[in-house]
Amino acid sequence: MKITDFFSLLGGLALFLYGMQMMSGGLEAAAGNKMKQILEKLTANRFLGILVGAGITAVIQSSSATTVMVVGFVNSGMMTLRQAVWIIMGANIGTTITGQLIALDIGALAPLFAFAGVALIVFVKKKKVHHYGMIVAGLGVLFIGMDMMSSSMMPLRESETFISLMTKFSNPLLGILAGAGFTAIIQSSSASVGILQALATSGVVNLSSAVYVLFGQNIGTCITAVLAAIGTSRNAKRTTIIHLCFNIIGTIIFTFVCMLTPLTSLIESFTPDNVAAQIANMHTLFNVVTTILLVPFGYKLALLATKILPEKAGEESDEEMHLEFIRPMELKRENQIGHSAIALSGIKGEIHRMMEMAKANVECSFEAVKSGKTTLLPEVEEREEYIDFLNKEISKYISKILVNESNSKDAKYISALFKVCGNLERIGDHAINICEYTKRLEERNISFSAEAVAEIEQMKQISCQALELIENLEKDAKKDVKEVAKLEQTIDDMTDEYRAHQITRMQSGKCSDEACVLYSEMLTDFERIGDHILNIAQEIGLGKVGA
For 206-259, the DSSP string reads -HHHHHHHHHHHHHHTTHHHHHHTTTS-HHHHHHHHHHHHHHHHHHHHHHHHHH
Looking at residues 238-262, what average pLDDT do you find? 92
Residues 378 and 271 in one domain: no
State yes or no: pLDDT of 293 exceeds 90: yes
Helices H / strands E in the chain, number of each:
24, 0
Cα distance between residue 473 and residue 462, in whole Å: 17
Question: Which of 16, 55, 25, 49 has the alpha carbon at shortest distance from 242?
Answer: 49
More reliable by pLDDT, 125 or 264? 264
Residues 301 and 345 in one domain: no
Say if CB 372 and CB 469 are below 8 A apart.
no
Query: Which segment of 180-184, 248-252, 375-379, 436-440 scores lowest on mean pLDDT?
Result: 180-184
Q: Which amino acid is at 480?
A: D
Residues 269 and 376 in one domain: no
Say if CB 254 and CB 286 are below 8 A apart.
yes
Residues 342 and 253 in one domain: no
Cα distance between residue 398 and residue 420, in whole Å: 12
Which of 15-29, 167-181, 334-348, 418-432 is most confident? 418-432
What pLDDT is attached to residue 332? 47
Looking at residues 404-433, what average pLDDT do you find? 87
State yes or no: pLDDT of 141 exceeds 80: yes
Specify if 314 maps to a domain.
no
Say if CB 99 and CB 58 are below 8 A apart.
no
**By percentage, how much of the chain surpasses pLDDT 90?**
31
Looking at residues 464-490, what average pLDDT do you find? 82
Cα distance between residue 277 and residue 197, in whole Å: 8
Last residue of a domain, one of 307, 325, 348: 307
164 burial (CB, 10 Å; 0-12 / 13-18 / 19+) is exposed
Residues 474 and 515 in one domain: yes
State yes or no: pLDDT of 328 exceeds 60: no
Say if CB 543 and CB 416 are below 8 A apart.
yes
Question: Which of 430, 450, 424 has the alpha carbon at shortest distance from 510?
Answer: 450
Say if CB 536 and CB 420 are below 8 A apart.
yes
Residues 421 and 471 in one domain: yes
What pLDDT is attached to residue 349? 86
Specify if 321 maps to a domain.
no
State yes or no: pLDDT of 546 exceeds 70: no
Specify if 266 maps to a domain.
yes
Say if CB 79 and CB 39 are below 8 A apart.
yes
- In which domain, by residue range, is 90 found? 3-307
- CATH, residue 401: 1.20.58.220
Residues 249 and 351 in one domain: no
Specify if 328 maps to a domain.
no
Say if CB 370 and CB 457 are below 8 A apart.
yes
Specify if 318 maps to a domain.
no
Which residues have C-beta within 8 Å of that of residue 320, sequence separation ≥ 6? Answer: none
Say if CB 238 and CB 306 are below 8 A apart.
yes
Residues 134 and 281 in one domain: yes
Cα distance between residue 353 and residue 147, in whole Å: 52
List, as own/partner pairs, every contact residues 109-113 make where C-beta atoms lie below 8 angstroms and the sequence separation is at least 24, other chains included: 109/143, 110/139, 110/140, 110/141, 110/142, 110/143, 110/144, 110/146, 110/147, 111/140, 111/144, 112/140, 113/137, 113/139, 113/140, 113/143
For 27, 112, 214, the CA distances from 90, given in Å and listed in that order, are: 18, 30, 18
Give tens-digit pLDDT for 339-396: 667 778 788 889 999 999 999 999 999 999 999 899 999 999 999 999 999 999 999 9
Cα distance between residue 63 and residue 177, in whole Å: 20
Cα distance between residue 198 and residue 166, in whole Å: 14
pLDDT band at 411 (very low <50, low <70, confident <90, very high): confident
Scored b (16 or more CB within 10 A) or e, 170-204 reads bebeebbbbbbebbbebbbbbbbbbbbbbbbbbeb
For 426, 509, 530, the CA distances from 429, given in Å and listed in that order, are: 5, 32, 13
Give tens-digit pLDDT for 299-324: 888 899 989 988 765 444 445 688 88
Cα distance between residue 184 and residue 172, in whole Å: 18
Residue 61 main-chain phi, psi, to 5 deg: 60, 35
Residues 289 and 373 in one domain: no
Q: Which amino acid is at 342?
A: I
Q: Is 95 helix (H, G, I), strand (E, B) or coil?
A: coil
Q: What is the value of pTM for the model shown?
A: 0.65
Specify if 315 maps to a domain.
no
Residues 377 and 298 in one domain: no
Cα distance between residue 191 and residue 201, in whole Å: 15
Specify if 492 maps to a domain.
yes
| Residue 413: HSE in the Cβ half-sphere, 13 Å Cα cutoff | 23
What pLDDT is attached to residue 221? 83
Q: Is 318 helix (H, G, I), strand (E, B) or coil?
A: coil
State yes or no: pLDDT of 129 exceeds 80: yes
State yes or no: pLDDT of 492 exceeds 90: yes
Sign, CA torsion 245/250/255/260? positive
Looking at residues 403-410, what average pLDDT do you find? 70
Q: Counting every residue, how long is the chain?
A: 547
Question: Which of 91, 39, 42 has the alpha carbon at shortest distance from 65?
Answer: 91
Say if CB 547 and CB 410 are below 8 A apart.
yes
What pLDDT is attached to residue 545? 43
Specify if 330 maps to a domain.
no
Residues 144 and 273 in one domain: yes
Q: State how many domains the chain has.
A: 2
State yes or no: pLDDT of 73 exceeds 80: no
State yes or no: pLDDT of 334 exceeds 60: no
Residues 8 and 113 in one domain: yes
N-terminal to C-terminal alpha carbon distance within the chain:
53
Say if CB 428 and CB 534 are below 8 A apart.
no
